[in-house]
A and B are shown apart, each in its own frame.
Chain A
Amino acid sequence: MISRREFLQATAAAAAIATASGLGPLGRAAAQQKLSQADILRFDPLGTVTLLYVTDIHAQLMPLHFREPSVNLGVGPAKGQPPHLVDAEFRAHFKIAAGSADAFALTSDDFTSLAKTYGRMGGLDRVATLAKAIRAERGDDKVLLLDGGDTWQGSWSSLQSKGQDMVEVMSALKTDAMVGHWEFTLGAERVKEIAESASFAFLAQNIRDKEWNEPVFPPRKVFERGGVKIAVIGQALPRTAIANPRWMFPDWEFGIREEEIQKQVEEARAEGAAIVVLLSHDGFDVDKKLASRVKGLDIILTAHTHDAMPGMIRVGDTVLVASGSHGKFLSRLDIAVKDGKVSDIRFKLMPVFSDAIAPDAEMAALIRKVREPYAADLAREIGRTESLLYRRGNFNGSFDDLICDAMLSQRDAEIALSPGFRWGGSLLPGDAITWEAITNATAITYPNCYRMEMTGAQLKEILEDVADNIFHPDPYFQGGGDMVRVGGMGYAIDVGKPMGSRISGLTHLKSGQPIEAAKKYVVSGWASVNEGTQGPPIWDVVRDHVAATKTITIKPNDAVKVTGA
C-alpha cells in the first residue's frame, strides 16, 4: 500500500527523470536534430485524464519567432531558481544540449542561426493538429483543454475584431475553460458579452463588483473526464486594475484572495472533485508562494510571466506547470487517480515547431477566414531590419529600442518611455518589418503616444515604482512584466535594494550630463493607464519612423547598469 506522500515522492522522482532528459526522449536528440510531429507527440499515457494547457497566446494565430529572455532575474527566494535561469544555466538545469531543438525553443543565445535551422514556432493550426491527435489517442471524453488567458490581445486582427477572431479559434480548438488579464482591456461589457455566450467557461474567483462584492464571473467549474471529477478554479491577474487602465472595467476589483481560493478548494472537494486545478494568471512566482499557503491544490497551471519549463515544479503536494507563450508550446498532463485522489502525474511540454507539424486543415481555413479582412494590411512591408528584434529581457529588448527611437524622432522628445510588455514576436536580421510585425508589438486598446514635460525627480520616481513592481522580494507585490524601457536616458539599478533606493546615475545620453531632479525634460511614452491620454497611436509613430529609416539597425544597448542580481 503506497501512501499519498510516498506516491508524490515517486512522482517527484519521475518528474526529475523527465526533467533530466529535457523534453523526455527529445532531449537526447543530437544537437541540430530537427523533431518530427511524431517526436513531439510521443508520450507514454497514464491514467484516465489528460489536461491540455496553452497560455498567453497573445492572439498569435500564425507561426512566429519568439526569443526567450537572456536576462530574467529572480529576487528574494526566487533568486537563481527556475524559471529565473537563462541560456547555459537553463540548459544545465533542464539537461538540454546546446544547439538542440529544445535549446532553440527555450533559450535565447544563438537565436538567429538556430531560427534558420528550426524555423518558426506556434500557429494555432499546428496546435489544433496536436490537440486532435491527442484526443484521437485518448478519446474525447478523457481530455480537458484549458487556456491560461492573455488570448484575445496582441494582434491587429484581435484588436480590430475586439477579440472575436480568437474566440472563434479557441472555440474551434474545443477549449473547456479560460481565465483573463489582457482580455479585460476590451472593456467590461465586451468581456461579459463573450463570457456569457462562448462555448467555453470564463472563470475568475477573484473578480468582484465593487458595490456588492459579488463575483462577476463563475469562480470554478467541475468537469467529468475519464470517470473523474476535475474542479477548475479560475484566477484572473490580481493586479489587472493596477497594470492596465481600470477605467475600462471601473466596477471591478481584483486581488489575490487566498482565503477565497482555499474555500473554493474545500467546496470542490466536498462536491467530489478528485483533481483540483488552479487555472491561474497570477504569474509564476506569485503562484509558487500561493502553493505554499493554500492547501489541497493538485495542479497550478501558471501564466502571465511567459515562462516555459520542460519540467513540473513541486511545492508541497502541488505541482506547477509553466507553458510558455505565443502558441510556442502545448502542455500535456496525464493524471492517474486512485481512491479519489491524484496518484501520479506525467507531464510534457510539447514544442510547437511549425515546420514539423502539419497544419490542421479545418483550423487553417478558419484562421484564413478571420484574418482575411486584414490580410492586405498585415502583409504591407514598411521597412526592413538588419538587427534581431526581440522584446523579452528585464531591462531592454531591441524591439523596444526601436519603439523608443521612433518616439524620440517622431515625437521630438529627449526621453522615451515604453512599457515592459513581454508579448510581441521577434524578427530576424534581414526580415521585412510589416504592419503585422509592428502591430504584434503594439496592438492595445490604449495606444496613445503622449508627449509631456517631466522633471528628473519624476522620472526617477517612475523608475523606482516600476522596479518595485518587478524586484519586490515578496512575489505578492510583483505585478509581472519587465522594467519600463527607456530611450535617451541611462540609469543604474541595484535590484537588491528596497523601493526608493534602487535607481541611481540617471544620465541624459545625448549630452552625457546627469539628469537634474528639478529640471524639466520632454518625454514621450505610450500605454498610459490614465483615461483621456492624448496623442497618435503608437503603431503609427513606429510605422512613420520605420518608413523614414527604411533599414533598421539597433546598436547593443548598455544604458542600464545592473547590480545586486
Chain B
Amino acid sequence: MSSGLTRRSTITAGAIAAFASLLGSRLAFADEKAVEAEIKKLYGDKKLGEGKIKLDVPEIAENGLVVPVNVEVESPMTEADYVKAVHIYADGNPLPGIVSYTFTPACGKASAATRMRLAQTQNIICVAEMSNGSLHMAKANIKVTIGGCGG
C-alpha cells in the first residue's frame, strides 16, 4: 500500500474539513446585544418576565444545520387571555432572528416546532407576548461540536 501513500493522495476532504470551514468563516456574528436590540424594536423597554414558556431544545446539536426547537407557552387561549406572539432568537448566528409566530384564541394552544441552523455554540432566546401585553422570556444554551472520538 505504500505506493498509495503519496503526498498527492491526500489533502482532500479530511476529518476536520467541515470544522475548518466553520472556523475559517469570517462572518460577523450576532451577540446578546443584537438580540436585545431586536426585542427592543418590538417591545421597547417593557419588562420580560420568567415562566410560562417551555423551550425544548437539545443540550447538544446532533447536526448544527437542522437543530430542532419546540416551544410551548402556558395559556388558556381564551378571548380574554391568550398568547399573541412568540419570537425565537439566536445570539451566535449572523442574524439574531430565527422565527416569529402569531396566535389567536382559535389556535387552542400556543405551541410550535421548527428546525434552525446554528453556526456555533450559542443561546436560544424565546419571547412570548400575551394578550394583556405582558412579556415572558426563556433561554437555553445549545452546544455545537465537531464530534468524533466515541468510546
Contact = CB atoms under 8 A, between A and B. Distances in A.
Contacts of A253: 62, 68
A241 B63 contact: yes
A181 interface: yes
Contact of A528 (B7, B66, B148): B148
B5 A532 contact: no
B9 to A, nearest CB: 7
5 contacts: A243-B148, A253-B68, A479-B151, A536-B5, A544-B5
B149 A421 contact: yes
Interface stretch (A197-205, A358-366, A465-473): A465-473
Contacts of A458: 16, 19-20, 23
A477 B59 contact: yes
B151 A540 contact: no
Contacts of A484: 148-149
Given A246-B62, A453-B11, A534-B12, A527 B148 contact: yes
Interface string A461-504: 11001101100000011011110100000000000000000000
A242 B145 contact: yes
B10 A411 contact: yes
A484 B60 CA distance: 20
Interface of B: 1-2, 4-5, 7, 9-20, 23, 58-60, 62-63, 66, 68, 143, 145-151
A256 to B, nearest CB: 8
Contacts of A476: 59
A115 B10 CA distance: 41
Contacts of B147: 241-243, 479, 529
A119 interface: no
B19 A482 contact: no
B19 A481 contact: no
Contacts of B10: 411, 450-452, 534-535
Interface of A: 181-182, 210, 237, 239-244, 246, 253-256, 283, 304-306, 410-412, 417, 419-423, 450-454, 457-458, 461-462, 465-466, 468-469, 476-477, 479-482, 484, 525-530, 532-536, 540-541, 543-544
Nearest to A476: B59
Nearest to B59: A476
A82 to B, nearest CB: 18
User: Which of A181, A304, A421, A479 counts the most chain B CB atoms within 10 A?
Assistant: A479
A243 B149 contact: yes
Contacts of A255: 58, 62
A419 B13 contact: no
Given A241-B63, A253-B68, A535-B10, A457 B150 contact: no
Given A461-B23, A465-B146, A530-B18, A411 B5 contact: yes
A520 to B, nearest CB: 10
Contact of A536 (B4, B19, B59, B60): B4
B150 A239 contact: yes
B93 to A, nearest CB: 19
A451 B9 contact: yes
A526 B18 CA distance: 15
Contacts of A453: 11
B151 A481 contact: yes
B18 A536 contact: no
Given A419-B148, A477-B59, 7 more contacts: A306-B151, A412-B7, A477-B60, A481-B149, A529-B15, A529-B148, A530-B13
User: Which of B60, B63, B146 counts the most chain A CB atoms within 10 A?
Assistant: B60
A536 B146 CA distance: 22
A482 to B, nearest CB: 7
Nearest to A422: B151
A454 B149 contact: no
A482 B19 CA distance: 20
A532 B150 contact: no
B122 to A, nearest CB: 13
A411 B7 CA distance: 7
Nearest to B17: A530
Given A253-B68, A450-B15, A532-B13, A410 B2 contact: yes
Contacts of A479: 147, 149-151
A493 to B, nearest CB: 15
A306 B23 CA distance: 33
A238 to B, nearest CB: 9
A412 B151 CA distance: 28
A245 B56 CA distance: 25
A465 B149 CA distance: 11
Contacts of B148: 242-243, 419, 466, 484, 527-529
Contact of A452 (B1, B2, B14, B18): B14
Contacts of A482: 149, 151
A525 B15 contact: yes
A175 B13 CA distance: 41
Nearest to B18: A530
B17 to A, nearest CB: 6
A537 to B, nearest CB: 9
B25 to A, nearest CB: 13
Contact of B149 (A410, A420, A532): A420
Given A476-B59, A484-B149, A540-B1, A450 B12 contact: yes
B149 A466 contact: yes
B116 to A, nearest CB: 14
User: Which of B143, B146, B151 counts the most chain A CB atoms within 10 A?
Assistant: B151
Given A242-B60, A255-B62, A468-B145, A534 B151 contact: no
A530 B15 contact: yes
Shortest Cβ-Cβ A-B pairs, 9 listed:
A243-B150, A528-B15, A451-B10, A480-B151, A241-B62, A452-B14, A481-B151, A242-B147, A450-B14
User: Which of B4, B5, B11, B148 counts the most chain A CB atoms within 10 A?
Assistant: B148
A228 B88 CA distance: 49
A526 B148 CA distance: 10
B11 A452 contact: yes
Contact of B1 (A241, A422, A536): A536
